[in-house]
Amino acid sequence: MGEIFDLENITGLSDKDAAIRLKKEGYNELPSQKQQSIFSILLNVFREPMLLLLLGAGLIYLFLGEKSDALMLLFFVFVVVGITLYQERKTERALVALKNLSSPRALVLRDGKQKRVPGRDVVRDDIMILREGDRIPADGIVLICSNLMVDESLLTGESLAVRKSQWDGKTAQVQPGGDDLPFVYSGTLVVQGHGIAKVTSTGIRAEIGRIGRALRGIDREDTPLQKETRELVRNFAIAGLILCILVVMVFGMKGEWLDGLLAGLSLSMALLPEEFSVVLVIFLSMGAWRLSKKRVLTRRMPAVETLGSATVLCLDKTGTLTMNRMILSTLFAGGENYDADKNGDLPLPEKFHELLEFGYLASQKDPFDPVEKEIKNGTEKFLGNTEHVHQNWELVQEYPLSKNLLALSNVWESFDKRRHVIAAKGSPEAVIDLCHLDERQKDELLTHVKNMADKGLRVLGVAKSIFRDEPLPDNQHDYEFKFIGLLGFIDPVRQGVPEALSECYSAGMRVIMITGDFPGTAQHIARQIGLKDPDRYVTGPELARMSDTELAQKVSATNIFARIVPEQKLAIVNALKSNGEVVAMTGDGVNDAPALKSAHIGIAMGERGTDVARESSSIVLLNDDFSSIVAAVRMGRRIFDNLKKAISYIFSVHVPIAGLALFPLLFGFPLILLPVHIAFLELIIDPACSVVFE
C-alpha cells in the first residue's frame, strides 16, 4: 500500500484483466450456509436411540412374517420423522424467502469507462465509484472523496455515520469504526457525499469475511434440554441394552433366539421412554407454530424451550432497542430549548424558524443521509408553504467538510440575484469557530452542547452569512457567519421496549445492553427504557485489557457494555456462559453473528437483519418487535413447565409397563406385552395423555 495514485489518470482494470482475476480469486461473495438437505435431517432424527429401537423391532417382525405388527411399528417411526421433517423444511423455506437473492450492482471504472456490474463480479484493484445510497460492494481505500459519510452500523453497531478521508498512501488498513479513516468496507452504506475507492479485498478476505471465518470456528452448543434428554436416554439405553442381552442369552440357552430377541426388545422398549421424541416434537412444534402467529420464526425447535429457561438476555442497542433512524428531538436558539418530540403536532414558535430554515439550506435538496432527511421532513412539516422555504433559489457553490473544519456550507443565489446567502452546519465546535465568537459566548454555547449530548443527542450547529461581492471566496472562514442555534437528533427507543423490559425483570431475567456507541448515549437509552444500574458500564478498551477471569467477574455485575467490537460481543457471551448462565442474544448486523451463534439462543431481526445474522440465529423476529421476545420467553416457560409435567406422567406410566414386561420373564409365563403393544401404549395413548398438559 505504499504507492500514491494519480487521480487524473485512473482508468481502472480492463474487462479482460477483471475476468482473469475473477477466475483466479473467485466471486465477491460469502459462502452461504447450506440449506439442510432432507437426508441430513433424516440422519439427525434416526440418531435417536428410541427410533432405532422401534425400527429394529419393526424389521424383526417383518423378518418373522408379522406384516401387520411390523407396519404398525414402522408407521410410528414415519409419524415422528414426518413431523420433524415438516417443521424443519418449513423453517428453511421461510428463511430462504427472507433472503435477498438479487446481487446488488456496483458502479466501477473499467477500460476508462463507468460500468455497472453485479456486486459479486467486483475484483481486487477495481475502481469503485461511490454515491449516496450505494451499498459498498468490497473493502477498499478512498482515493478521492467529497463529504463522504458511510453508515457502518452493520459492522460496528455505531448508529451514527462516519466521515471518510482521502488515503495518504501510507496508512495501513484498520478495523471499521471512527471518523476520518481512508477505508471503506463491504456491506456498508454511503449516506452522504461521493467518492472513488480502490478495492483491496473481496469476499471471504474482506472485513465482513473475517467475521464469517470467526463464525466457522464456533460450534453451536446443544440446548440444556437436549443435554438432559440425551443423558437420560443414554442411561436408560445402557440399562435396556444390558437387560436385553441378558434376556436374549437366557432364551438362547433354550434355543429360542427369536423369541428371546422379541422379549429383550420388549423389555428394552418398556424401560426406554421412546415417546419422549413424540412428546418433544409435538410440544416444540406446537410452540413454534404459536410463535409463528406472533411473527416469530423458530429456526431450531429446541430453542423454543431454551428461551424459557434463559437467565440473561443480551440486547444489541442499535436497531433492537432503538429504531436505527434519527429524528429531530430538540432545537436550541436565542437561549431557549424547544422539544420537537413532545410538541410535534403544535406549530413551531417563530424563534426557531430561522434555525430550521438554514439547517435545511445547509443540506442536500434530495438527501439520503438520515439526519438531512429528518431536517428536510421537519422543514416541510413546520415551515411548508412559508417564506422560509426557498424553492426558486439556486445552489451555486458547496464547501465540503474537511479534517480541519468539521462543517460544510452551501452558497445560494437569491431569486433577485442581488446577494448570496450562505448556510453552514456541522459539529458545534466547528460552527462556533466559523462565527468567531468570544470566549464567554463560546463557553456558554458549549455548555448547552454538553447538556444535549448527555441526553444522547447528536448535536449540529447552524450558522448563516450574507455575501454581496464577487467572486466567492475559496475558504468558508472568509465569510462573516452569525451563529443561529443547535439541532439535536436522537435514535428513538422502539415503542413497547420499556414495558417489555419490565416483563423480563418480572420473569427473573437479567438484561444486558451491548453497543458500539459511546457510553453517554448508552446510559441515556438505558435510563429511558428502565435498565437496571445504568451508571455502571464497561467500555471496549477496558474489556480488551481484562483476562477471562476478570471478564467473568465483571459481566456478573455490569449491565452496559459500550464501544464494543464484534470479537468482544462474543467474549461477553462466552463469559456469561462460563458463569453458568443460559444466554439469549439479539442482533441484526454482521458484527452480531458470532455472538448470535455462540449464545444458547440467538435472536435475529428479520426485516432489517442481515442474512449472516439470520443464518447464525435460532429465532428470527419477522417484525423486528422487541416485545415479541417477551412473548417467546413466556411461551418457552410455559412449554418448559408443561414438559416437566408430561415427563413426570411418562415415567409414572413406564413403571407398570416395565412391570408387565418383566414379570412374565421372571416367572416363565408367556409374554403379556409384545413390542407392538408397548409401542401402541407408549406412542399413542401415552403421548395423547401427555399432550393434554400442552
Instruction: Kindly give the pairing relationship between strand 189-201 and strand 139-151.
Output: antiparallel
More confident residue, 306 or 526: 526
Distance CA 582, CA 507 (A): 14
Burial of 413 from C-beta contacts in 10 A (0-12 / 13-18 / 19+): middle
The one-character DSSP state at 352 is: G
Task: Encode pLDDT of 599-616 as tens digits.
Answer: 888 888 766 666 666 667
- The grid coordinates listed for 546 are 481484562
**Amino acid, res. 13:** L
Element (H, E) at 71: helix 67-98
Q: Indicate left, alpha or beta for 421 from its phi (over 0: left) and psi (-120 to 50: alpha).
A: beta
Distance CA 199, CA 121 (A): 12
The C-alpha torsion from 402 through 405 and 406 to 409, rounded to 10°, is -80
How far is C-alpha 396 from the geometric centre of its chain's CA atoms? 43
Quote the pTM value. Answer: 0.69
Q: Are 352 and 338 in contact (CB under 8 A)?
A: yes
Distance CA 266, CA 282 (A): 25
Strand partners, 693: none
Q: Are 632 and 620 in contact (CB under 8 A)?
A: no
Least Cα distance to 489 among 293, 327, 632 occurs for 327
Q: In sequence order, what are the residues at sequence separation of 6 or more whose Cβ sits closer than 8 angstroms to the Cβ of residue 575?
A: 548, 551, 552, 554, 555
Task: Encode pLDDT of 414-469 as tens digits.
Answer: 877 778 999 999 999 999 999 988 899 999 999 999 888 888 888 999 999 999 87
Q: Is the pLDDT of residue 275 over 70?
A: no
Q: How confident is the model at residue 99 (pLDDT cuts 50, 70, 90)?
A: very low
Task: Encode pLDDT of 379-424 as tens digits.
Answer: 888 887 777 788 788 899 999 887 778 889 999 988 777 789 999 9
Q: How far apart are the first and last CA of the chain?
A: 63
Instruction: Kindly give the pairing relationship between strand 327-333 and strand 139-151.
Output: unpaired
pLDDT of residue 3: 43
Distance CA 72, CA 374 (A): 66
Q: In sequence order, what are the residues at sequence separation of 6 or more whose Cβ sits closer than 8 angstroms to the Cβ of residue 243?
A: 264, 267, 268, 271
Distance CA 203, CA 368 (A): 27
Q: Which residues are catalytic?
A: 316
**Amino acid, res. 575:** A
Q: How confident is the model at residue 555 (pLDDT cuts 50, 70, 90)?
A: very high
Distance CA 280, CA 46 (A): 15
- Evaluate whether the domain defined by 7-30+123-201 bears CATH number 3.30.930.10: no
1.20.1110.10, 3.40.50.300, 3.40.250.10, 1.10.10.60: which CATH number matches 38-97+220-284+637-691? 1.20.1110.10
Task: Encode pLDDT of 9-28 as tens digits.
Answer: 678 889 999 999 999 999 88
Q: Is the pLDDT of residue 147 over 50?
A: yes
Selection from 278-282, 342-346, 360-364, 472-476 with the highest mean pLDDT: 360-364
Least Cα distance to 288 among 91, 94, 504 occurs for 91
pLDDT of residue 214: 65
User: Which of the residue ranges 32-36, 52-56, 567-571 would you say has the lowest mean pLDDT?
Assistant: 32-36
Mean model confidence pLDDT for the chain: 80
Q: In sequence order, what are the residues at sequence separation of 6 or more whose Cβ sits closer than 8 angstroms to the Cβ of residue 255?
A: none
Q: In sequence order, what are the residues at sequence separation of 6 or more whose Cβ sits closer than 8 angstroms to the Cβ of residue 555?
A: 512, 572, 575, 576, 579
pLDDT of residue 269: 64
Q: Are 583 and 314 in contact (CB under 8 A)?
A: yes
Domain ranges within the chain, ordered by starting residue: 7-30+123-201, 38-97+220-284+637-691, 296-323+495-628, 327-490
Least Cα distance to 266 among 594, 586, 662 occurs for 662
Sign of CA pseudo-dihedral 373, 378, 381, 382:
negative
Distance CA 313, CA 307 (A): 9
User: Which of the residue ranges 216-230, 345-359, 519-533 would you say has the lowest mean pLDDT?
Assistant: 216-230
- DSSP calls for 176-222: S-SSSBSEE-TT-EEEEEEEEEEEEE-GGGSHHHHHHHHHHT-PPPP
More confident residue, 107 or 299: 107
pLDDT of residue 526: 92
Q: Is the pLDDT of residue 34 over 70?
A: no
Least Cα distance to 382 among 343, 335, 410, 439 occurs for 343
**Amino acid, res. 571:** A
To which residue does cell 435417536 refer?
Answer: 48
What's the maximum distance between 2 C-alpha atoms anywhere in the chain? 118
Selection from 265-269, 301-305, 397-401, 468-472 with the highest mean pLDDT: 397-401
How far is C-alpha 349 from the geometric centre of its chain's CA atoms? 41
Sign of CA pseudo-dihedral 291, 293, 299, 301:
positive
pLDDT of residue 663: 66
- The grid coordinates listed for 229 are 434428554
Q: Is the pLDDT of residue 572 over 90?
A: yes
Angstrom CA distances, 378 to 341, 352, 492, 564, stand at 11, 12, 16, 33
Q: In sequence order, what are the residues at sequence separation of 6 or more whose Cβ sits closer than 8 angstroms to the Cβ of residue 606?
A: 98, 295, 297, 614, 620, 621, 622, 623, 624
Least Cα distance to 592 among 573, 614, 613 occurs for 613
Task: Encode pLDDT of 610-643 as tens digits.
Answer: 666 666 777 888 777 777 888 788 888 887 777 7
**Amino acid, res. 453:** A
Angstrom CA distances, 479 to 411, 423, 463, stand at 11, 11, 11
- What percent of the chain is predicted at pLDDT more than 70? 78
Q: How confident is the model at residue 354 (pLDDT cuts 50, 70, 90)?
A: very high
Query: Under CATH, which number does the domain 327-490 receive?
Result: 3.40.1110.10
Q: How confident is the model at residue 326 (pLDDT cuts 50, 70, 90)?
A: confident
Strand partners, 398: 410
Decide if 296-323+495-628 and 327-490 have a common fold: no
Q: How many residues does the chain have?
A: 694
Query: Under CATH, which number does the domain 296-323+495-628 receive?
Result: 3.40.50.1000
The one-character DSSP state at 473 is: -
Instruction: Kindly give the pairing relationship between strand 482-490 and strand 327-333.
Output: antiparallel
Q: How confident is the model at residue 210 (pLDDT cuts 50, 70, 90)?
A: confident
